[in-house]
Chains A and B, each alone.
Chain A
């Protein structure tokens, strides 16, 4: 049904492929720029935005600090309100719980509200293996599902697709799984949305079981919250008889009033709206109104692992708004697929290694998928210091190789550099050697930088990574240090 991220290559390889796709780069540059500008505009309206960010971070931090207690309170409140609570340690357990509840009701299909947690655990594929069709009802998720595609953005999983591609997918695939798209379908956004509405309507009306995630889980009232734009969530949360919500344990907040800063931060950071169109909240079962059987699957799947990381635990504050993706210059150019996870972009580059560890090559490549420019930290509504966590996760990668029998070339180079940098006499010696190389380069170079300095063009070996697309200035014959020595700080001789 949908593709899989399993077996994705490490980031540099996947990024190289993505960079060759000019259509993808055009789609992404346009989409991220539009949403980035919208966000900037509505954030600028809020006078106390910085205080709001601090408040949002504090709410999540407080919940994480005492996570076990809040989760127990949440469970009690949910049970009191008539919900059934399940605990899932990992993806397989969570998928098995959902499948068994669905089987118990004898149905072979479910409708789904857009949910990152269920995407993370590969629920659709697991249900398909059990003979249950899971229909995505969010427009972008529907596009991804019908296109046998992978999500490439947290908020807009089909951000890599343009209107013409979406029209083609709808025409080709809708008829296979339900009501076909009209033959005269155009690529006007309203017409495409209309076709999706018609296609989904029969699924909403037929479904007995719905599956959702939750943006927040309020411990003291046992309330789950879903924030959305299209109303498909409202349909799933109210029409079916059975509702199963898969909720990451980090979604808990202590009290109802904790929602206040979060509900102000999320829409502006996410869709660039002052307020999102639909917010659904429900606490267990309300007799005669909405689903009469409510299940909540509380999911760990690496979250307690992340929680145990002193620096990295702040990543669990994430409210999945996507602001960091939209401002990231790396994400904008390579797109989401290169990150090999449903969580792409800067947050994905820290969250995936924190949830999974860095023992595999793909996860270990993610903390390096950043120039550390810091644009992500600047926009994060819950003040996750992503650059610092990236550096800390890089250290985790390096530390995981400290006992390797054969050290990597990079490790040897870093040790050698650190050795030279630990004593200025060693550095001065290295600079004299580089000055000699500079003299040779200057003599033979056919490239001159504007301003007159000689430069190296394409070089072989390890330098090729730099000089493939960039000229490299030839090292100067005399280092600053040597100049200072020779001229006594520029006071004698050639003191210029």
Chain B
């Protein structure tokens, strides 16, 4: 199986440790993961702001970069959702039948990390060790656009040493929402304030999620409040072993 990592633009530029964690984790599980250097972004920032024409060359770059791979793994529910549900809209808009066909090839092969681990590799115990009190925030796109269900929790439950605590009102949006966080900053912050409060209520040391963009928002608020709670991507906890402790 030829497996490609779609690291995502946000992780590439802002959170490289998440990408490294995915590589470490997949190799530990015997997957020889490749990083196609031609990749850039899934195009979601343009699509969700209404710039469909601008998204066309970005989606074209995506399908070219990942052509021929059996699976495209991405540590982001949002970017996986974009590839699976929005690329076809962009391709239709382009009026280019070749792009429509190419998207039909890549879209169903794109997996969010927890989907790939649980559904494709068939593992829930990835041999991780993380001795901390952790609460999990299910991000909206992973939950409602992709339908990852409780796959991330299944994976976390098997982590040795972890103390998982439930997050109150877990499924409510944190308020990030891409350009929403800037265009409607006040509303975004009001939503984030409530999410941060729920995180603090759990007494967790670490907030984990499958999307660094949401974590950047919640974590930025927690940091401004000097809350002392660390945010981490799911991949980084799953990649941790006794050697890291």
A479 and B60: CB pair below 8 A?
no
What separation, in Å, do the CA atoms of A479 and B19 have in the docked complex? 10
Contact residue among B9, B40, B177 (Cβ-Cβ distance under 8 Å from A373): B177
Does B104 have its Cβ within 8 Å of any Cβ on chain A?
no
The minimal Cβ–Cβ distance linking B95 to chain A, given in whole angstroms, is: 15
The interface centre, meaning the residue of A451, A470, A484 with most chain B CB atoms within 10 A of its CB, is A470
The minimal Cβ–Cβ distance linking B244 to chain A, given in whole angstroms, is: 10
What separation, in Å, do the CA atoms of A402 and B185 have in the docked complex? 25
What separation, in Å, do the CA atoms of A19 and B187 have in the docked complex? 7
Contact residue among A11, A373, A395, A457 (Cβ-Cβ distance under 8 Å from B144): A373
Which residue of B is nearest A12, CB measured?
Answer: B184
Contact residue among A367, A424, A466 (Cβ-Cβ distance under 8 Å from B40): A424
Chain B 167-181 interface mask (CB, 8 Å, partner A; 1/0): 000011101111111
B144 and A378: CB pair below 8 A?
yes
Residues of B within 8 A of A496 (CB): 20
What separation, in Å, do the CA atoms of A420 and B58 have in the docked complex? 9
A480 and B45: CB pair below 8 A?
no
Residues of chain B from 35 to 62 with CB closer than 8 A to chain A in the complex: 35, 37-41, 43, 45-55, 57-58, 60-61
The minimal Cβ–Cβ distance linking A275 to chain B, given in whole angstroms, is: 28
Does A122 have its Cβ within 8 Å of any Cβ on chain B?
no
What separation, in Å, do the CA atoms of A397 and B34 have in the docked complex? 39
Which residue of B is nearest A369, CB measured?
Answer: B184
Q: A450-B228, A479-B12 are in contact. Are A375 and B144 (CB under 8 A)?
A: yes
A371 and B51: CB pair below 8 A?
no
B43 and A421: CB pair below 8 A?
yes
Pick the interface stretch among B148-156, B157-165, B214-222.
B214-222
B216 and A371: CB pair below 8 A?
no
Does B108 have its Cβ within 8 Å of any Cβ on chain A?
no
B224 and A421: CB pair below 8 A?
no
Residues of B within 8 A of A34 (CB): none
Residues of B within 8 A of A470 (CB): 189, 192, 217, 220-221, 223-224
Residues of A within 8 A of B16 (CB): 476, 478-480, 483
B46 and A394: CB pair below 8 A?
no
Total A-B pairs in contact (CB under 8 Å)? 222
A422 and B61: CB pair below 8 A?
yes
Q: Using a Cβ–Cβ cut-off of 8 Å, how many residues does chain A contribute to the interface with B?
A: 74
Does B241 have its Cβ within 8 Å of any Cβ on chain A?
no
Does B31 have its Cβ within 8 Å of any Cβ on chain A?
no
A368 and B180: CB pair below 8 A?
yes
Q: A466-B181, A466-B182 are in contact. Are A398 and B61 (CB under 8 A)?
A: no
The minimal Cβ–Cβ distance linking B62 to chain A, given in whole angstroms, is: 9
Q: Using a Cβ–Cβ cut-off of 8 Å, how many residues does chain B contribute to the interface with A?
A: 80
What separation, in Å, do the CA atoms of A473 and B162 have in the docked complex? 26
Residues of A within 8 A of B65 (CB): 424
Residues of B within 8 A of A473 (CB): 14-15, 216, 219-220
The minimal Cβ–Cβ distance linking A124 to chain B, given in whole angstroms, is: 30
A455 and B40: CB pair below 8 A?
no
Residues of B within 8 A of A411 (CB): 51
Pick the interface stretch among A102-110, A204-212, A328-336.
A328-336
Contacts A374-B145, A420-B40, A473-B216 known; list 7 others, CB within 8 Å.
A12-B184, A371-B175, A372-B140, A387-B145, A422-B40, A427-B12, A480-B11
A-B contact pairs, 9 of them (CB 8 A): A373-B140, A374-B141, A374-B145, A418-B58, A421-B40, A423-B40, A431-B12, A473-B219, A480-B16
**Chain A residues within 8 Å of B, Cβ to Cβ:** 11-12, 15-16, 19, 25, 329-330, 333-334, 367-375, 377-378, 387, 391, 393-399, 402, 410-411, 414-415, 417-418, 420-424, 427, 430-431, 434, 447, 449-451, 455, 457, 462, 465-473, 475-476, 478-481, 483-485, 489-490, 496
**Chain B residues within 8 Å of A, Cβ to Cβ:** 7, 9, 11-17, 19-20, 23-24, 34-35, 37-41, 43, 45-55, 57-58, 60-61, 65, 86, 89, 140-141, 143-145, 171-173, 175-193, 216-217, 219-224, 227-232
